[in-house]
């Protein structure tokens, strides 16, 4: 193995607001674990969980909303130290800032000091004890982390009353970092890659996780059987993978309705039957390719009868403080998964103006279904069945 491992993640990691159907069965299996977030699928799914899940309980950690992204609370090290890191379904590793710092940003909580943890162990490359395995991650918004790979104990709370402990979890210990969300100590990668948190959880948990984002209160991110989304109102759509970017969760967006006006992807280069948009918890807004994005914005503009306001960039904004004048937007995913979005999800109050929370990107960039559009939806990922399930939910009142 090379002493330097360069990971250039092509996720649209835009971490500020302007950067980065089949109905499931109502049967709920036991076990799994849950992580609280700050700021259940079918009977066949249930049968895959063993009594071990009951014995382990439901591990969980709190999550919080900060400005434009969602952070997960968890503990690392021995004794355990709590960190708050950005939840990112389009990133591949777990990293946090570590002492000593060559160049660290000012984070809200104390920076993790691995010298005070009895379970921290730096990974060695080329069987050379003097050659630690290095990593370097650069995101699209130019945030980055550089440091060393290590194994460390990661701990969650659990409904069993006992801690849920992941020993020897691979993390990145960042000594040179820049992040546009300084409240976060780092990033929790949850993509399909082998080094993501979900992939390191083991066979009892790695196929299932869910979250419910609320901008008002704490909520949860769940793993294992506790993450199965089911019941009345649940809709599901197929997940896809791409050879060129195999770790992302792609969905297929068929159309977007603006009020009663349904704007189809068919007839545009965006049209696909095998996935055309990434669902990404680490990106704030929704990003669509120009060929389709312009049609959606034109449909909004044909309904809104107030003056446009000037804004830097390509955001469509209006001189109004009244969100009620805007049309309801519905996302139509394949399989009949139609998500009727709250107006908050699609319109952003920037002071005296409201802007449509959709931005246009060029043909070489990925379309992204961002976290603002996901607000107040219970969203479950089932990689064993390649399904994402959605259930309209008041996430602040869910737990």
Q: What is the pLDDT of residue 101?
A: 96
Q: CA angle at residue 341 from 338 to 346, to 5 degrees?
A: 130
pLDDT number for residue 43 = 33
Buried-state track 87-122, b at ≥16 Cβ within 10 A, e below 16: bbbbbbbbbbbbeeeeebbebeeebbebeebebbee
Q: Which helix (H) or strand (E) covers residue 298, if one does? A: helix 290-301
Q: Classify residue 233 as left (phi > 0), alpha (psi -120 to 50) or beta.
A: left
The pLDDT value recorded for residue 55 is: 57
| pLDDT for the residue numbered 48 | 40
Give the separation between CA 363 and CA 369, rounded to whole angstroms. Answer: 16
Neighbours of 178 (CB within 10 A): 17
Give me the sign of the Cα torsion angle 123, 125, 129, 131: negative
Catalytic, 88? Answer yes
Phi, psi of 116 (to 5 degrees): -100, 5
* Catalytic choice (53, 88, 141, 254): 88
At residue 56, the pLDDT reads: 60
Q: Which pLDDT score, from 0 to 100, does residue 379 have?
A: 97
* Dihedral of alpha carbons 38, 68, 182, 134, sign: positive
**Is residue 332 a contact partner of residue 254, using CB atoms and an 8 Å limit?**
yes
Which residues of the chain register pLDDT less than 50?
A: 1-31, 40-52
pLDDT in the model for residue 243: 95
Active-site annotation holds for 106: no
pTM to 2 decimals?
Answer: 0.87
Q: What is the pLDDT of residue 215?
A: 85
Active-site residue (options: 141, 280, 348, 382): 280
Distance CA 158, CA 195 (A): 23
Provide CB contacts within 8 A for 35, sequence distance 6+. Answer: 59, 60, 61, 62, 63, 72, 73, 74, 156, 220, 221, 222, 223
């Amino acid at each position: 193995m090379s002493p330097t491992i360069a990971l250039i993640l092509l996720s649209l990691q835009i971490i500020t607001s302007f950067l980065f159907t089949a109905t499931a069965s109502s049967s709920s299996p036991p076990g799994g674990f849950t992580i609280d977030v700050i700021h259940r699928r079918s009977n066949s799914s249930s049968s895959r969980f063993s009594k071990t899940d009951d014995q382990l309980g439901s591990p969980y950690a709190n999550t919080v909303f900060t400005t434009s992204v969602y952070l997960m609370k968890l503990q690392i090290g021995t004794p355990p130290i709590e960190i708050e890191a950005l939840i990112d379904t389009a990133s591949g590793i777990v990293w946090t800032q570590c002492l000593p710092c060559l160049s660290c940003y000012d984070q809200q909580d104390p920076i993790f000091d691995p010298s005070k943890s009895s379970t921290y162990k730096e990974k060695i490359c080329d069987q050379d004890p003097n050659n630690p395995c290095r990593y370097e991650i650069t995101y699209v918004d130019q945030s980055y982390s550089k440091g060393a790979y290590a194994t460390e104990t990661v701990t969650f709370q659990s409904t069993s009353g006992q801690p849920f402990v992941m020993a020897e979890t691979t993390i990145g210990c960042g000594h040179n970092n820049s992040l546009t969300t300084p409240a976060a100590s780092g990033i929790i990668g949850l993509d399909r890659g082998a080094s993501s948190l979900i992939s390191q959880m083991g066979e009892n948990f790695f196929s299932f996780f869910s979250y419910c984002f609320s901008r008002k209160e704490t909520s949860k991110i769940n793993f294992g059987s506790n993450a199965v989304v089911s019941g009345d109102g649940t809709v599901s759509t197929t997940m896809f993978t791409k050879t060129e970017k195999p770790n992302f969760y792609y969905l297929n967006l068929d159309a977007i309705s603006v009020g009663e006006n349904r704007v189809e992807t068919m007839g545009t280069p965006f049209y696909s039957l095998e996935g055309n948009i990434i669902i990404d918890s680490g990106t704030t807004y929704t990003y669509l390719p120009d060929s389709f994005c312009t049609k959606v914005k034109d449909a909004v503009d044909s309904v809104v009868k107030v003056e446009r306001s000037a804004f830097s960039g390509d955001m469509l904004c209006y001189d109004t403080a009244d969100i009620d004048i805007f049309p309801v937007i519905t996302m139509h995913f394949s399989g009949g998964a139609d998500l009727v979005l709250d107006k908050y999800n699609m319109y952003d109050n920037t002071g005296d103006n409201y802007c449509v929370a959709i931005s246009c990107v060029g043909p070489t960039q990925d379309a992204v279904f961002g976290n603002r559009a996901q607000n107040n939806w219970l969203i479950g990922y089932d990689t064993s069945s390649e399904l994402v399930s959605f259930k309209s939910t008041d996430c602040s009142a869910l737990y």
